[in-house]
Chains A and B, each alone.
Chain A
């Protein structure tokens, strides 16, 4: 779809694309200004020179506006990162508090975190240097302590928490 086509100017690579574009524009501006100055020094004044000056001016304005646009993009991305990080931190706190409430052991906490991050049994086992059977047993204890049936419900537990406010607004029966 359009995702491919627009990814260059919309995604994370946008600042790089803008910076490259600015660079090319700056080279052109410098060349035109240099050429215009050379013309003036050589007394080569005429329509040719005025046209060159116009182009140089347009390019210089383009560089200035492009630089401002790039700054704005960078600031927006920085703000997004901060928001994301604090959301992440807040969710991390919520999860850690809940693990404590369920009485997970330190080893179980680690496994539970990794499970929430979407790692499967084999990956967790490898990361922690334990046998797959051990991890499976730990996961079973974690689900039991959390009172959920399995991984999907375990993850949903926190998603529900995240959406909590939204769910409250639904009409409640009984």
Chain B
């Protein structure tokens, strides 16, 4: 089986040592991470604002976020919020020790990474909620509407009053404003986030990305 090569390697593989103290991310955490990254980047770069794909990705983002938040309470130790509670001072201390080239290992996210994770999730929550409030309809409603239109029944659209291109409600403008600011913010944060991962990986010579990609047992 896949285990055949690792029989008695306990003392023989110095390569395994470098990553030995990095947390081992579970599959659900990895799925939600790359799902969220895909949703954020996809809606930034690929989809047209307000298009049905954009809206669908937003709902998927909300589902991913909700699942990750549940996982923060019931997941394994390294995924639980309790093991990376927000602590701005500890985050600054971590960055300082990183600058000195001696950032310690942590059982979960490092304090700076933890702050970043909460900031990204907060942005995503604001984004999805404002987005949904702007469209005012769930995907199922949207699909019903589209099906009705496809069947030649335009009354459904008329009933809704306008097609959402322009928000008549006074709150609409504000929602849109918040949605846009949050979108720009999450992109900026994601950029910082990737830069942070790259810097720590380089300075401390630990590959932080690999545990996010594949479980350790399959890395060689």
- Residues of A that sit less than 8 Å from B by CB: 12, 15-16, 18-20, 22-23, 26-27, 29-31, 34-35, 37-38, 63-64, 67-68, 70-71, 74-75, 78, 81, 85, 88-89, 91-92, 95-96, 113, 116-118
Contact = CB atoms under 8 A, between A and B. Distances in A.
Interface of B: 2, 4-5, 7-12, 26-28, 31-32, 35, 59-60, 62-64, 66-67, 70-71, 74-76, 132, 136-141, 217
Given A71-B76, A74-B76, A88-B8, A30 B66 contact: yes
A172 to B, nearest CB: 31
Nearest to B71: A67
B138 A15 contact: no
A63 B67 contact: yes
Chain A contact residues: helix, strand, loop or mixed: helix
B31 A20 contact: yes
B63 A89 contact: no
A30 B62 contact: yes
A64 B74 CA distance: 9
A23 B31 contact: yes
Contacts of B9: 117
Given A15-B27, A34-B59, A71-B74, A96 B11 contact: yes
Contacts of B26: 15, 19, 70, 74
Given A35-B140, A38-B137, A38-B141, A26 B11 contact: no
In the A-B complex, the 6 residue pairs with the smallest Cβ-Cβ separation, listed nearest first, are A19-B28, A34-B138, A35-B138, A30-B63, A19-B27, A27-B63
Given A12-B217, A71-B76, A96-B11, 10 more contacts: A22-B67, A23-B63, A34-B138, A38-B136, A67-B74, A75-B76, A88-B10, A91-B8, A113-B12, A118-B4
A30 B68 CA distance: 13
Contacts of B5: 117
A31 B139 contact: yes
Nearest to B28: A19
Chain B contact residues: helix, strand, loop or mixed: helix
Contacts of B74: 64, 67-68, 71
Contacts of B31: 19-20, 23
A22 B71 CA distance: 11
A71 B133 CA distance: 34
Nearest to B73: A67
Nearest to A17: B27
Contacts of B67: 22-23, 26, 63, 67
A30 B59 contact: yes
Nearest to B62: A30
B66 A26 contact: yes
5 contacts: A30-B62, A31-B59, A63-B67, A70-B28, A116-B7
Given A15-B27, A95-B8, A26 B63 contact: yes
A88 B6 CA distance: 10
A63 B27 contact: no
A16 B64 CA distance: 15
A91 B70 CA distance: 41
B70 A64 contact: yes
B16 to A, nearest CB: 11
A116 to B, nearest CB: 6
